[in-house]
A and B are shown apart, each in its own frame.
Chain A
Amino acid sequence: MTTLTSDLDPGDFGEPRALTTRYSLTDRIFRGTSRSAGTFVLLVMVLVGGFLTAHAVRAISSVGVVKFVTTQEWSPETNHFGIAAVLTFTVLIAMVALTVAVPLSLGGALFITEIAPPRLKKIMTSVIDLMAAVPSVVYGLWGLSYLQNHVVGLSYWISTYFGWIPLFKVDGAEPGNPLPNTALYTSSTFIAGLIVGMMIIPIQTSMMVESFSRAPQGEREGAYALGATRWGVIRSVVLPFGKGGIIGGVMLGLGRALGETIAIYLIISPVFSVSFHVLQNGSNSVAAMIALRYGEANSFAMSALMAAGLALFLLTMAINFTASMIISRSRSGAESEV
């Protein structure tokens, strides 16, 4: 046996070497293009945030951050305005939307990936894509002229039987009245949330389908071979694997729900006092308020609207940031590979 020799001088050991790489021309072009695209996206984010902040400063500094966050009314003319009401309603609408959309998307996605025969799977996938392509103003019109009339009955029923829960209380409701005043139940947070829920179902579903269908076939078969039922496979393989996709889908939907403008604008009748009675006539949202008010706004009122926009921007940023943290910590993508 020979001893190992090395041309490296002994002092070199332990010193990390500087690694240099030479890229080919195509590689350099590709890297340059993708890097500038990435930078551009970041730049747009920063520009939007900076622009909003710059314009919002005037309004916020005239009332102070605390008053801006806690005031419910919105009248910049009298220097009395804040986002307490609009932001609360925005979040309430988003919560209603998620309550409706998450179970439906989850069930739909599981049906598409785990249960539907191949033909039906194709059909359903294209229907979902089609739903995602419908513009939100169409959802709004449909909600206003069709869905609302059919949902007030449900609102009435819920408030009659569950009105003792503050969330479902409707002021001025007359449970015994054979001809209830349906106007009490129209244009509510609930109906707006329902429409927004319909709008976010497709994005949530397709994101979940995407992640469920990547659940490793080997693990699925492993579970089936142990005598698992379909539900057992879903519970032990598909859902743990798709956790990241579920959270991602929900967060994407939430972001969309918080920012939705036109459909909510069409449905609600704006109010500016916080109310958690979701079934009751009158609601609001930051985006809808901006759309409603900017036409008549002078420069100070405009600054106030910018401030409201900034609050919404920060909220969605925070949500997306949390979501991406949760996703990166969960397992999606990892397999039991050797």
Chain B
Amino acid sequence: MSLPSETAIALPPAPPSSVAPRRSGWRPADTSPLAVLSAVRGSSVATELRAEEINAWFGDHKVLDRVSLTMPTGQVSALIGPSGCGKSTFLRILNRMHELVPAASMSGRVMLGDQDIYAADQRVTSARRRIGMVFQKPNPFPAMSIYENAISALDLTGVRADRVVKDFLVEDSLRKASLWEEVRHRLHQPAGGLSGGQQQRLCIARAMAISPDVLLMDEPCSALDPTSTRRVEDTIGELRGQVTIVIVTHNMQQAARVSDRCAFFLAAQGQPGVIVEQGPTDDMFGSPRDQRTRDYVEGRFG
């Protein structure tokens, strides 16, 4: 089951001030559990993400050339294209992970709502908090339990929450990732003991626990078996509407199944990657305008 909205949840009577932000300057004025929850979890509304004129380099090597893409509120956008055309690079620019690579640089703007996340007054940590990410290889923290993994973002960003709020967040995020039923009886066992597919859904739960506005996924199913892949796809379906999703995939059926919109990336030999065509998934697969798109989605090259 998925929980429709926060207000529908009955929490036990309010402990006074259950959440105290450690570093960040804010403190919820209203300290009832619901207000506290929404303070922890931010605005919790899906938001439009818009990349404008993105260029990217690794050292002198240019890998993206003036890429612009709008990822509409609450929809699933798929990025497709052959290997090495810059999909991962583009995705990592969307939540400022690109700059972790030494010698990597970029230009352009990434607008989250009406805010440029690269603006000088924006903190890189708050951009990453609002734009979550799931990686190709499941990467839960193996030394932590499932429970601790699910709410690791609170600890990592210096938000202190009490037991009631934590319990709620763990259940809520694990439900969102369709993992709750499988792990509810072993929450305190190490996350390393889960199967690959479960680990990947735990990573989705971990990202969802702080209610990001956007969720980025880089080939989230490529390390998984068909059943786990199905579960993750179902999870994406459940999250549609609650959060704006951007997914990179090499699997055309998957792109067709899960996405509302699609963007086809291509890099000509020795050239930086560009978006050849983008639009609603049905159009991209049914009646592509560009011959290269048609060839690619029909599996004829790439």
Contact = CB atoms under 8 A, between A and B. Distances in A.
Given A224-B128, A225-B97, A227-B129, A218 B135 contact: yes
B186 to A, nearest CB: 17
Interface stretch (A151-159, A289-297, A330-338): A330-338
Interface in B104-157: 125-129, 132-133, 135, 137-144, 152-153, 155-157
A334 B195 CA distance: 16
Interface stretch (B47-55, B202-210, B238-246): B202-210
Given A227-B129, A227-B210, A338-B199, A222 B139 contact: yes
B75 to A, nearest CB: 21
Contacts of B191: 336
B57 to A, nearest CB: 17
Interface stretch (A24-32, A84-92, A228-236, A275-283): A228-236
B1 interface: no
Contacts of B207: 225-226
Given A224-B128, A225-B133, A227-B128, A219 B139 contact: yes
Contact of A240 (B97, B126, B129, B143): B143
Contacts of B153: 226-228
A222 B203 CA distance: 9
A227 B154 CA distance: 9
Contacts of B196: 338
Given A334-B192, A336-B141, A336-B142, A226 B158 contact: no
A118 interface: yes
A270 interface: no
B152 A226 contact: yes
Contacts of A228: 125, 153, 156-157
A221 interface: yes
Interface in B178-203: 191-192, 195-196, 199, 203
A223 interface: yes
Contacts of B142: 219, 331, 334-336
B143 A338 contact: no
A332 to B, nearest CB: 11
A226 B137 contact: no
Interface of B: 95, 97, 100, 102, 125-129, 132-133, 135, 137-144, 152-153, 155-158, 191-192, 195-196, 199, 203, 206-207, 210, 223
A-B pairs with lowest CB-CB distance, top 8: A227-B129, A338-B196, A228-B156, A218-B139, A225-B133, A232-B156, A222-B139, A226-B153
18 contacts: A216-B139, A221-B97, A222-B141, A226-B128, A226-B206, A227-B157, A236-B144, A236-B152, A236-B155, A236-B156, A331-B142, A331-B143, A336-B139, A336-B140, A336-B141, A336-B199, A338-B196, A338-B223
Interface of A: 117-118, 216, 218-219, 221-229, 232-233, 236-237, 240-241, 331, 334-336, 338
